[in-house]
Amino acid sequence: MRRLRSLSRQDVWLLLRITGILLILPPLLRWFSLPRVMKLLDPGLGAASGRGSSPSRMIQLTQRLLDQNIGVFRDTCLKRSLVLFRLLRRAGHPAVIRFGVAKDGEDVTGHSWLEQSGELIAEKSDPYESFAVIYSYPSTAARK
């Protein structure tokens, strides 16, 4: 509770928005195809007014919630990418989400990540070194 009191009003609202998105993701992903989920989550590009949270703050608070590792607050690249995609696009940042797969012997793994203007967002390593892109949204976005 002490940590919550130390947050600005703007950060508290951002945490509430992140929580709301995290709560609706499981049913959306269960009931709809990925292209439909992306259309539902994409608010279009909002007007970048200069007000609101910075992209780095959006990333930081999203990660803080996902690090709780409780219920819907478990960190996966999919949750992180979908939440940040929604927040960034709403704030006027032309984020693109990519979904990729990699095969290692008989195992197939997947990963999702964000880009803006060809630059990776919140990635520790370059996913293109390991994953082949199978889907991007918006689909018109040029690949790195």
More confident residue, 142 or 106: 106
The whole-model pTM stands at 0.88
User: Taking a C-beta distance cutoff of 8 angstroms, is the pair 86, 78 a contact?
Assistant: no
Mean pLDDT over 48-52 rounds to 60
| pLDDT of amino acid 19 | 95
Sign of CA dihedral 23, 61, 55, 133: negative
Q: Quick check: 1 pLDDT over 50?
A: no
17: tokens are 């928005």
Give the C-alpha separation, 2 to 37, whole Å: 36
Q: Is 41 helix (H, G, I), strand (E, B) or coil?
A: helix
pLDDT in tens, 58-103: 999 999 999 988 888 888 999 999 999 999 999 999 999 999 999 9
| Cα 66 from Cα 90, distance rounded (Å) | 20
pLDDT for 25 beyond 90: yes
